[in-house]
Structure 1
Amino acid sequence: MGTVLKALLQQRHLQTVAAFNRHYDHLAEQIEPGSVGAGPRKAQFYRWLSGDLVGLPYPHHCRILTAMFPGWAINDLFAPYTGLQSLEENHSRSTTLPQPTTADVEAVFPTRTEFIQSMPPTEILRANRRIDAMGLSLNLLCQHLSDSTVRGLVESGTTLRCLFLDPGGVHIRNREAEEGHEPGVLVNLTELNIRSLERIRRGATPDAAARIELRTYDQPVRFNITVVDSEVCIVQPYLPACRDVESPTFVCRKSPAAGVFDCFSGVFASMWENGNTVEKR
């Protein structure tokens, strides 16, 4: 069947990945120069056309697509196209109906697994200037990125501020019981992730090592929060009797008006300020 996007691209003779990306780069040069060359790869592009997606594409893709098709809502571009109506009728319908607003929440995924499939950490966390992360063991950063990737980030100028649930504290043991783990499972994982970042810090150049900041806190764990460049915030709640990979994942982007992003970035700032520094060893 395919998506409305596929039908529109066929109408414009842009249905091949090469032709699409040439047009993509042309628009990016005008409205978002940092996205030049960042168009979809072949497999991703054909998922866009077929509708085989979990959630929407990355925000920068959405911005280019809405510029490519003025007046079209991004959700409507990825809706199934049946061919029973003309594109003009679909367009008229999509622009006359009020669009739901979600403030600064750009995407919601039922689980972390679906989030990672749609927005891989290697894509979200690369080429950034600062990554702030807090939660339990920080697996999104420590388990989904290789040591060489993390080392490359800090050597190229990225600052990492990582706030772990204290592996020697009371609340990590409470969380182990809540998730139904044997004693020590989350303690050992958190210690492993801290040691991994300490190892990278020891092997980095002095300037890069100074950009890896590690702290701990010992309070009830409520949210996993990752803030990228003070612009994008990824949030997961810690739910009762539910592992973090199974809980919903929210992606927020800072907007001029106060919203969800400001709430959670403020939580990180407060918790970081009161955290305990993990000294260099």
Structure 2
Amino acid sequence: MPTMLKMLLAERHLKSHSDFLRVYDKCAAQLNPPIPPGYGPAKAQYYQWLSGQMVGLPREYHHRVLQRMFPGWTTERLFQIVDASSTDARTLQPSTPIDSELEAFLGADMVTHGVTLVYPTRRGAAVVVPENDLRGLLCVSALLQRHTSIRVTFCGDRATAARSDRAYIGFGLHTVLSLPCVADPRLFTVSTTDPAIGPVIEYLELSDGSRYHSDGERHFGFLARIRPNPGPNPDRYWFLCAGLAPRGAAGAGWFLVNHWSSLQQCAGTNEFVAVISIHRYSDQTYNLEKLIVGPPEAAS
């Protein structure tokens, strides 16, 4: 039986290996950075793609080109085996179409090249993600998997500290402090102490001078969207979900998932930071305390 990829190519009247490579190279040239001609699959590999007689999925750069060729389709779905005799028009629709407003919120760079979800790690300790940060990460991961075809990878914060060449969604205070852009903040600063166990947040200060710190009843979290290098990459965003108390990062992640549309309407394409108060007994009981939106010139 053929793969879904073969059915879609037939629908587009791309019947030969050379027809496929012509479109492949065109889409590869549109990526950032572009992939030069000649990186498409060899003829034998191409026919394995169509028949499903392959082990595993193609290399990462093939993922990027195929998602450009077939917007809204995951690579896994493209290589699923289908019954040609029972395939109808509904089967040939993308399984995860990307809402245009959600795409604008996340940024074109993330949609095209994928995103890395960053979890916190500590020196000298096993890689065990704090439970509250993990809940926020899983919540956002579910949004991306259910409503987009964005390629998602996972990485510890120490491995991302020196890299600004990709879209990130980071969780936890350790992750926020490890990213180089936080050293030159435009919207907020984080004041911390540094005992032996690692950084502990004291307060969050916004660009308007307001400060937030958690108490016994309310746990504050914050969600920020920033551009790590706005000049060369205005469509690349980093999202930061962190907290001033245990439920902060999880509450910020939950707020992102459920209120991204409202944030996009308020912020447009600008950077922003939102402060959320979360009740201490549930991540899902929260209030938006303040939203600071960066000036349009921050995007230039």
Do Structure 1 and Structure 2 share a fold, with TM-score over 0.5? no
User: Which is helix-richer, 1 or 2?
Assistant: 1
User: Which is strand-richer, 1 or 2?
Assistant: 2
* Larger relative contact order (Cα-Cα within 8 Å, sequence gap ≥ 6): 1
TM-score band, normalised by shorter chain: 0.3 to 0.5
